[in-house]
Amino acid sequence: MSWLLRSLADQARGLRRGEVTSARLVEEALARIAALDPRIGAFVRITATQARAAAEAADRRLAAEGDGAPPVCGIPVGLKDVLCVEGVETCAGSRILQGFVPPYTATAVARLTAAGAVAVGTCNCDEFAMGSSTENSAYQITRNPHQLGRVPGGSSGGSAAAVAAGLVTASLGTDTGGSIRQPAALCGVVGFKPTYGRVSRFGVIAFASSLDQVGPLTRTVEDAALVYSTIAGHDPLDATSSRRPVDDPIAELALGVEGMRLGVPAEYVDGDLDPGVRREFEAACGRLAALGARIETVSLPSTRFALAAYYVIAPAEASSNLARMDGLRFGPGAPTAPSLRAAYEQARHAGFGPEVRRRIMLGTYALSSGYYDAYYRRAQQVRTLVAQDFGRVFERIDAILAPTSPTPAFPLGSRTEDPLAMYQSDVLTVPFSLAGVPAVSLPAGLSEGLPVGLQIATPAFQDARCLRVAAAFERAAGVAAPPALAREPVG
């Protein structure tokens, strides 16, 4: 079996025992990308020269430090195209940033590479992280490695597909309303959105600043904990970064769920769920009960307003964040514009895709005079309601269980003409984003051959508990098998 299909923890052990080198892992990753990615489209950019140099440095460090080297040292990783890397073109999946080469590196990336992880390339995503299918990138679509005619989810679809296909061992994504968890669920991998403020947003090309959060996508829960531990913690470069000490998820992973009270929100399972998703979710609850957890029905009544509040708040913040994109210093430019205003309009029209334009319009409308109170202010008040719901439930419940997505991966193109149908993909992930609490998605079975995700959420800053519950489930259910495509012989 390819080393790239083993867990990060296994690879780390192999590196320390001398069974493999970082150079070999990286060559294997590059070979697998060359062989398999033309069918998937997970990567928009490969940084082979830098990766090979970083792998050699990681091997020297492993030789010098042995067990003292960080767990991610020498591990090949992928980075979502919204994470700035100094000297590497970073476009957020948008034509308006084509040619943008950041002069600095996102803190999450800097921490990962400082610990010796080797970035092999940039993963495709929906433009400015706006989407649930990775069909909105200006550069390419990404396909689900389980069934190539299906979407990988989004917006971190490239990051999820790359891990699912064993092109890299781990990747970083960002999650605003579900953009790590939903693609993780659809691709059959683990995706963790930490507490808002737990991982620095410095160097992340912003979508909605009060919601955006960086997190890992990996093959196992332990791997997610290892990457999370590497990137979490206070950063003076991000004013919303928390100063609280980071909990240690590794120490808690083995503690299990016996005696824990786990809540299933009635509103999340009463709605339209794919029958296979419902079946696997109920089986997952049963498995956790068998491990000694008490499963209880809880109520989050404001959930019914959450998606509407999100689709006002996030576009409003996006319209403000994206106002800086003039498309003139890089991007399409405006060679025939007769005035400065026309130059902005020409460049922004050519530079933004239809979904980004739609959300900028929606956000501008919600913030404009006469509509602000009815939409934006009201949505923020509803956000308070949603957060209060969670606060009440978490007074007596240790963690919340829910399906990650109401359906498995849907066919490519099936929702692109229907924005509302696409937005519904986020209905089970958005409430946790509004409340700012940590939430993880991990594989919980298959529906007609397609992965189903189990979502687990805990109170803010209880990230370690979130991963502990996930690890207990994973030990009982087993790590999900990679898709058939990932097991094809390469080279």
Partner 1 sequence: MPIDGGTVRHVSGLARLGLEDAEVDRAAEQLAVILDAVDHLQAADIRGLDPTLRVGDPGTPCRADQVEPSLPVERALAGASGREANLLRVAAIQ
Q: Please spell the DSSP secondary structure of 202-230, one letter per residue.
A: TTBPPS-TTT-EEEEEESSHHHHHHHHHH
The reply on whether position 329 binds partner 1 by CB under 8 A is: yes
CB of 166 to partner 1, least distance (A): 33
The reply on whether position 368 binds partner 1 by CB under 8 A is: yes
Scan residues 46-65 and list those touching partner 1 (CB under 8 A): none
Size of the site for partner 1 (CB under 8 A): 74
The reply on whether position 243 binds partner 1 by CB under 8 A is: yes
Q: Which of 171, 179, 319, 405 is catalytic?
A: 179
The reply on whether position 240 binds partner 1 by CB under 8 A is: yes
Catalytic residue check, 80:
yes
Catalytic residue check, 193:
no
Only segment of 41-49, 114-122, 280-288, 346-354 that touches partner 1 (CB under 8 A): 346-354
Helix 221-231 vs helix 463-477: crossing angle, to nearest 10: 160
Q: Looking at residue 194, what DSSP letter applies?
A: P
Instruction: Please give the sequence-ordered ranges of beta strands (E in DSSP) within 109-242, or none if there are none.
Output: 118-123, 170-175, 190-193, 213-218
Which CB sits closer to partner 1, 3 or 423? 423
Out of 143, 201, 348, 465, the residue judged to bind partner 1 by CB under 8 A = 348
Which CB sits closer to partner 1, 236 or 411? 236
388 sits in which H/E element = helix 378-394
The reply on whether position 103 binds partner 1 by CB under 8 A is: yes
On the question of a cis peptide bond just before residue 155, with omega within 30 degrees of 0, the verdict is: yes
Q: Quick one: CA torsion of 470, 473, 478, 484, rounded to 10 degrees?
A: -60
CB of 142 to partner 1, least distance (A): 24
Scan residues 280-319 and list those touching partner 1 (CB under 8 A): 302, 304-305, 308-309, 311-312, 319
The reply on whether position 330 binds partner 1 by CB under 8 A is: yes
The reply on whether position 469 binds partner 1 by CB under 8 A is: no
Token code pair at residue 292: 């000694």
Which CB sits closer to partner 1, 17 or 341? 341
Only segment of 40-48, 289-297, 344-352, 395-403 that touches partner 1 (CB under 8 A): 344-352
Which residue in 202, 135, 151, 177 sits closest to 354, CA to CA?
Answer: 135
CB of 325 to partner 1, least distance (A): 10
| Whole-angstrom distance, CA of residue 4 vs CA of residue 164 | 10
| Whole-angstrom distance, CA of residue 185 vs CA of residue 405 | 7
- Alpha carbon 336 to its chain centroid, in Å, reads 39
Strand partners, 192: 440
Only segment of 14-22, 97-105, 176-184, 394-402 that touches partner 1 (CB under 8 A): 97-105
The reply on whether position 377 binds partner 1 by CB under 8 A is: yes
Which residue in 223, 225, 253 sits closest to 75, CA to CA?
Answer: 223
Q: How far is CA 12 from CA 1, 22, 430, in A?
A: 16, 9, 34
Strand partners, 401: 456
Q: Which of 133, 155, 405, 447 is catalytic?
A: 155
Q: Which residue has the tokens 């990783």?
A: 77
Scan residues 175-214 and list those touching partner 1 (CB under 8 A): 195-197, 210
The reply on whether position 148 binds partner 1 by CB under 8 A is: no
Out of 29, 168, 362, 466, the residue judged to bind partner 1 by CB under 8 A = 362
The catalytic site residues sit at: 80, 155, 179
